[in-house]
Amino acid sequence: MVNQTAYNSLRQHAPRLALALLFQTERQKATLSTLLLLGLEFDRIAAQVSEPMLAMIRLQWWQAQLDTDNASAGPLAAHLKNQLLSGELTAEDISSLLVSWRQSIELGTSDSADNWAQLIYLMSVKAGLKRTDFAEEIGRSVALSRAGQPVNVPSSDAIYAQAGKGCEFLICLAYLARKAAERDVTRTPFLIFGLLYQVMLRPTSR
């Protein structure tokens, strides 16, 4: 059975994002959870734009984790190591994300929309979707919604028609981005019912 430690960590640290992976396979949950956790960690590091050198050093530490065989320092590093050893993720995958976050820090911006566009695109590739056209748009919407900004995302039906089997996490992320403004939404079963409705019935309204 695939180890779900990464998914459990995501449920603990970002329960709302974890809901987006409810319908993925066990193997996909491990990989996609690791990527989402890395995105959250890189965001936390990049938020230190008042000390860009410190942020760069911390990102470089993550780069070093790709090139070492030493014991992992911390749960997230261990999740990443497991994914690299299994071949589900590659050093090139993570390096591309680190480049994106470094650029944000160099520009001195807290806007992570482009970073999350690349992250969700990578998740779509790893999930084996037949097309990934909506991935970057949804990734930007996730970042904007986390910053409290309004979003406009594709309908569930449109996402499924384009991306096909395995795209449930994109449908869920789009729905969660739309619902981000609602208070205490993660504490009610209605959110899960909403996700079920989006995935099972795929309403066409945008």
Q: What would the pLDDT profile of 121-171 be if each residue is shown by its tens digit?
A: 999 999 999 899 999 999 999 999 988 888 889 999 999 999 999 999 999
Residue 180 DSSP one-character state: T
In a domain, 189, yes or no: yes
Please tell me whether the overall predicted TM-score, pTM, comes out greater than 0.75 for this model. Answer: yes
In a domain, 76, yes or no: yes
Position 1, amino acid: M
In a domain, 206, yes or no: no
Domain count across the chain: 1
In a domain, 155, yes or no: yes
* Segments of the chain scoring below 50 in pLDDT: 1-3, 205-206
Q: Which domain holds residue 148?
A: 5-201
Q: What is the pLDDT of residue 135?
A: 97
Q: What is the pLDDT of residue 199?
A: 85
Query: Distance between CA atoms of 198 and 182, rounded to whole angstroms?
Result: 17
Provide the b/e sequence for 163-187 (b: ≥16 CB within 10 Å). Answer: beebbbbbbbbbbbbbbbeeeeebe
Q: What is the pLDDT of residue 196?
A: 85
Q: What is the pLDDT of residue 74?
A: 87
Show the tokens assigned to 182.
């609602």
Query: Distance between CA atoms of 147 and 153, rounded to whole angstroms?
Result: 16
